[in-house]
Structure 1
């Protein structure tokens, strides 16, 4: 029970890595506040967790680009559970894969807002309560695409946001380490999710071939890495861009 009694916000929780993380965290005893745009999926996931009888879950649908929504998730955590021990700020989009010279500004702005501005907004409202408590752990879902030489053609906007998350994370980690707040980024490799090509065998085979392990991750495997960063097992880990990428970043260096 790595997260027994701990209250964790999970965004992007309606599918993929977020949903896998929510199920895993609940099995480890967490009290969850689930966030995503799709209320029906959140409602079903929360009901599944509650019926499982181990963790607890409430949910609130909304747009992570909205500061008021980020604050509402924190307020819901405090109202229902009395504390905020951690946050898995996982929501994100890939956006259209286009050369930068062909990318409309609207697409660029949307990817920046969903992936990077939302991370800033989440941290902005999560850190004050954690600072007041004297403890907390924040994890951003970044990507190998924003790290080292992991850039891929057609993913300029996505790569920029994921590199930006790492920079933001490192700055925040330095600012708040003495406050008892640990802040890290999780960098998955290709993962079998709806956004990662699930259901498209050709895409999955191609992405798997890029990895030295010659396979993609299951969403639960990435959730396990997030669990480590949110649990007390990582009590001396902060400011880390933690790779869980099947070795793809090594191959691309």
Structure 2
């Protein structure tokens, strides 16, 4: 892998959970990491403190609502005030929001889930594209999808699974579009990753235990499992991997 010393990275939803682990890992490899957060101010301050104490890397927090176009444009202005180029963009922001089946889902909820998981990824990538094009050695975009985007997810995750499948298609299409600019675009699809707010909110112990029993490696994943994979794809900023999806699920889905 290439060294991340001197590299500039941005992680959306990067204060806690999988995003926090990604931010921490990139910083540990020497990057300056701009960490977007929405409500997790306490978490991002704690992350900033931990990285400062480690003596390696740097965390710069920036708050924004990435589902609002005007807010995303203001977010971009803030990023432009911090750096003239960007080597790594990790589109991590996303959520299941709530569980709804087809017979009780409404358009407003559907559109909210799409905004959180797909539209935000598109808007952030769009506004930061000039900075990515300015990277010296090519740049890397890593999009966070989900095993649900591969397999369809558990009951009540219709909107979420559809949105995460869309992230995979977005990744392949954008990879083809930006290859000539030296910008690689890849995705990761985490399976059951415990120790996150997402699964604490949306996954019961019974469901988690059943899923673990069906995982060939016989354990759930943790945020560091995802962070290491993202760091690999990010650090190969001038590499030969683009348009790819890296599955992180202990063998539940093999492609």
Q: TM-score if structure 1 supplies the norm length? A: 0.90
Contact (CA 8 Å) 1:77, 1:84: kept in 2 or not?
Answer: no
Contact (CA 8 Å) 1:197, 1:204: kept in 2 or not?
Answer: no
Contact (CA 8 Å) 1:197, 1:203: kept in 2 or not?
Answer: no
Alignment of 1:156-235 (within 5 A): 156-192=158-194, 193-197=196-200, 201-232=205-236, 235=239
Contact (CA 8 Å) 1:23, 1:49: kept in 2 or not?
Answer: yes
Secondary structure at the aligned position of 2:243 is classed as coil
Structure 2 residue 3 is the aligned partner of structure 1 residue 6 = no
Structure 2 residue 142 is the aligned partner of structure 1 residue 139 = yes
Structure 2 residue 25 is the aligned partner of structure 1 residue 24 = yes
Q: How far apart, in 2, do the equivalents of 1:15 and 1:74 lie? A: 22
Contact (CA 8 Å) 2:141, 2:234: kept in 1 or not?
Answer: yes
Instruction: Report the aligned-residue RMSD.
Output: 2.2
Corresponding residue number in structure 1 for 2:38: 37
Match 2:95 to one of 93, 116, 123: 93
Contact (CA 8 Å) 1:9, 1:73: kept in 2 or not?
Answer: no
Corresponding residue number in structure 2 for 1:125: 127
Gaps of 5+ in 2: none
Corresponding residue number in structure 1 for 2:118: 116
Cα deviation, 1:97-151, whole Å, max 9, x if unaligned, reads: 221121132221211110010011111112222224462111110012112x444
Which range moves more in the overlay, 203-212 or 55-64? 203-212
Gaps of 5+ in 1: none
4+ aligned runs moved over 6 Å, structure 1: none
Corresponding residue number in structure 2 for 1:237: 241
CA positional deviation for 1:232: 2.1
Q: How far apart, in 1, do the equivalents of 2:249 and 2:69 lie? A: 31
Secondary structure at the aligned position of 1:118 is classed as helix
Q: TM-score if structure 2 supplies the norm length? A: 0.89
